[in-house]
Amino acid sequence: MPDRTSLPPRAWQRMLSGRRLDLLEPSPLDVEIADIAHGLARVARWNGQTRGAHAFSVAQHSVLVERLVGELSPRLAREARLMALLHDAPEYVVGDLISPFKAAVGINYKALEERLQSAIHLRFGLSAQVPAALKTLFKRADHLSAYYEAIQLAGFEEPEARRLFGSPPKALKTPRLTPVSTAEAQALFLARFARLYTH
């Protein structure tokens, strides 16, 4: 029997669907929406440092970002809105590392996330890369979501949230954020995906 210390490190994650996703060389064939929804509903935003009986999950955040993208750009194509919903999808396997920690990690974390994102996009018939204009739009919606989450759930004062994430446009409807259970978050994400994705 080979010595375990001489074997190369395992770089794949086994999913509940039975798929084995290689984190270093991810294949679209190993990506399942049920696995994504399950994982994102169990990953907490703000490392769980939010008010409420439940964590505010990345699944709930993703649904909010897609909604904000639609409000910022109402004529956006369905495919672009699906990309917005999936903007944090790699976190179903790598988790939601807060920005300060990502900056401190000594590996090219962004490249790992981008490979996973490309595989996810290809699995659902989307362009492997997000066009630059959409990246900018998604980042704006992501910052708006962070602003609302920060002041409603994470204990930030408005001036600090505005300084860190920017101010929302006056015309934008303020969402009322209530963290829900993992089952509810998973169902919300899957329902929104079903509305946006056509085989």
Q: What is the DSSP string of 26-92?
A: --GGG--HHHHHHHHTTSBGGGG--SSSS--BHHHHHHHHHHHHHHH-TT--HHHHHHHHTTTTTHH
pLDDT at 23: 87
Sign of CA dihedral 26, 123, 116, 62: negative
* Residue 187 CB neighbours (<10 A): 15
DSSP 3-state of 165? helix
Note whether 60 and 185 are within 8 A (CB).
yes
* Weakly modelled stretches of the chain, pLDDT under 50: none
Would the pTM of this model clear 0.85, i.e. be above it?
yes
Domain 22-196 has CATH 1.10.3210.10: yes
pLDDT at site 112: 84
pLDDT at 61: 98
For 138, other C-beta atoms within 10 Å of its C-beta total 22
Strand partners, 14: 20
CA neighbor of 30 nearest in space, from 43, 42, 14? 14
